[in-house]
């Protein structure tokens, strides 16, 4: 049954990726893309037999622009956030994903933001692109500051990019804690388990008082501590 489920998931991902690729070519407003992102996420969890529980949606304005900063330990994290965040979002993803046929192609051409982690100059350019998109298109950014998925589920050290973006854009940060995905689909594993994923949205943190690198690093540690605290509480 596990292999059957994986095969059905693969077919579903390819189908939605193909439709998303068409949508980015014909609909420059990306409205259809965002609808497909919700369909994609709903289908993934329905097929996998996983339930989503959200906490803290009342903590923020669903029409405003934020930087959602989340922990990352599973392939399920992205669809979990796509489905649970009510705001229009642009996920920051690593350029390696763009090489995946259909799925990666639609990511690269869509409204999300690709970042080259190996090239600091290109990474800064991607951050500037994200800032412009947030301001001009009223899109919230979704960032995984650990840089890559945690193998153990333990929150890794954060990288500075998300907080540099927050300071440059002036938009508030919302710490997001994802619990449960690591147990249901750990990094490097393909045996999907049934269960519940919990998404915890904390209150927005303003960046207006951040005036130096030291302030930025302090903000980074504050957000990480909030996410760790929520994660440990489950």
Residue 88's pLDDT is what? Answer: 93
Q: Which domain holds residue 142?
A: 2-233
Residue 97's pLDDT is what? Answer: 86
End-to-end, the C-alpha distance of the chain in Å comes to 29
CATH of residue 224's domain is 3.40.1130.10
pLDDT tens-digit series, residues 134-145:
888 899 999 998
The count of domains in the chain is 1
Residue 40's pLDDT is what? Answer: 95
* Residue of 174, 155, 167, 150 lying closest to 211 (CA atoms): 167
Distances in Å between the alpha carbon of 70 and those of 17, 29, 135, 186? 24, 26, 21, 16
Residue 82's pLDDT is what? Answer: 94
Round to whole Å and give the CA distance between 155 and 70: 10
Distances in Å between the alpha carbon of 28 and those of 31, 108, 110, 181? 8, 14, 9, 33
Residue 130's pLDDT is what? Answer: 82
Residue 188's pLDDT is what? Answer: 67
| pLDDT lower than 50: segments of the chain | none
Residue 234's pLDDT is what? Answer: 67
Residue 209's pLDDT is what? Answer: 79
pLDDT tens-digit series, residues 37-70:
999 999 999 999 999 999 999 999 999 999 999 9
């Amino acid at each position: 049954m596990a292999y059957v489920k994986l095969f059905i998931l693969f077919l579903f991902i390819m189908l939605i990726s193909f439709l998303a690729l068409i949508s980015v070519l014909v609909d420059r407003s990306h409205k259809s893309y965002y609808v497909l992102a919700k369909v994609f996420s709903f289908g993934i969890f329905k097929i996998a037999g996983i339930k989503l529980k959200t906490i803290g949606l009342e903590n923020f304005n669903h029409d405003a622009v934020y930087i959602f900063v989340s922990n990352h330990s599973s392939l399920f994290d992205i669809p979990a956030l796509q489905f649970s965040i009510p705001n229009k979002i642009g996920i920051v993803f690593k350029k390696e994903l763009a090489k995946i046929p259909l799925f990666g192609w639609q990511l690269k051409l869509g409204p999300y933001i690709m970042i080259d982690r190996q090239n600091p100059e290109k990474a800064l350019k991607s951050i500037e692109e994200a800032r412009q998109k947030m301001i001009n298109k009223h899109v919230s950014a979704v960032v995984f500051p650990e840089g890559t998925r945690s193998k153990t589920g333990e929150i890794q050290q954060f990288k500075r990019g998300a907080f540099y973006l927050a300071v440059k854009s002036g938009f508030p940060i919302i710490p997001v804690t994802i619990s449960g995905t690591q147990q249901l689909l750990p990094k490097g594993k393909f045996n999907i388990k049934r269960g519940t994923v919990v998404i915890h949205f904390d209150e927005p943190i303003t960046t207006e008082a951040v005036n130096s690198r030291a302030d930025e690093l302090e903000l980074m540690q504050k957000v990480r501590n909030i996410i760790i605290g929520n994660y440990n509480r489950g």
